[in-house]
Amino acid sequence: MRLMTLVLVVVCALAAAGVGSAATKLRLSAAANGALKYNKKTLTAKAGRVTILMRNPSPLPHDIAIKGRGKKAKGKIVAKGGTSKIAITLKKGRYTFYCSVPGHAAAGMKGVLIVR
């Protein structure tokens, strides 16, 4: 009975903190023509574990990174044909996803991730 009560308390605490048990897998791509942009400006995910896979068909190297609300993660910089990946647990809110290669985010290679 005590174990059941403890489990219930932990589940309620996680729910109140905005951390769900749902996992979301998102995909996006760098522009194939070499432009410094992704194919999406906005992504949406459920609170909990979020994985973003970024395919790079561009002749330039790119990656996927995320920051906001005290969180930060960065995938591997990949050449043409590669895939950069991040996996992070996020609470509800707005985050920025971007390419961390110097100058790419400043040129517009970024977007907003909305976690609900």
Domain boundaries, the chain: 20-115
Task: Tell me the average pLDDT across 45-51.
Answer: 97
| pLDDT score of 2 | 56
For tokens 């990946």, the residue is 85
- Is residue 4 predicted with pLDDT exceeding 60? no
d(CA 8, CA 25): 27
The side-by-side arrangement of strands in the sheet containing 23-29 is 23-29, 48-55, 83-90
Fold of 20-115: Immunoglobulin-like (2.60.40)
Task: Tell me the average pLDDT across 89-99.
Answer: 98
Task: Tell me the average pLDDT across 76-91.
Answer: 98
| pLDDT score of 11 | 47
Phi (first) and psi of residue 92, to 5 degrees: -60, 140
pTM given for the model: 0.81
The mean predicted confidence, pLDDT, of the chain is: 89
Identity of residue 41: K
| pLDDT score of 46 | 97
pLDDT interval class at 114 (50, 70, 90) = very high
Q: Are 89 and 75 in contact (CB under 8 A)?
A: no
- Is residue 26 predicted with pLDDT exceeding 50? yes
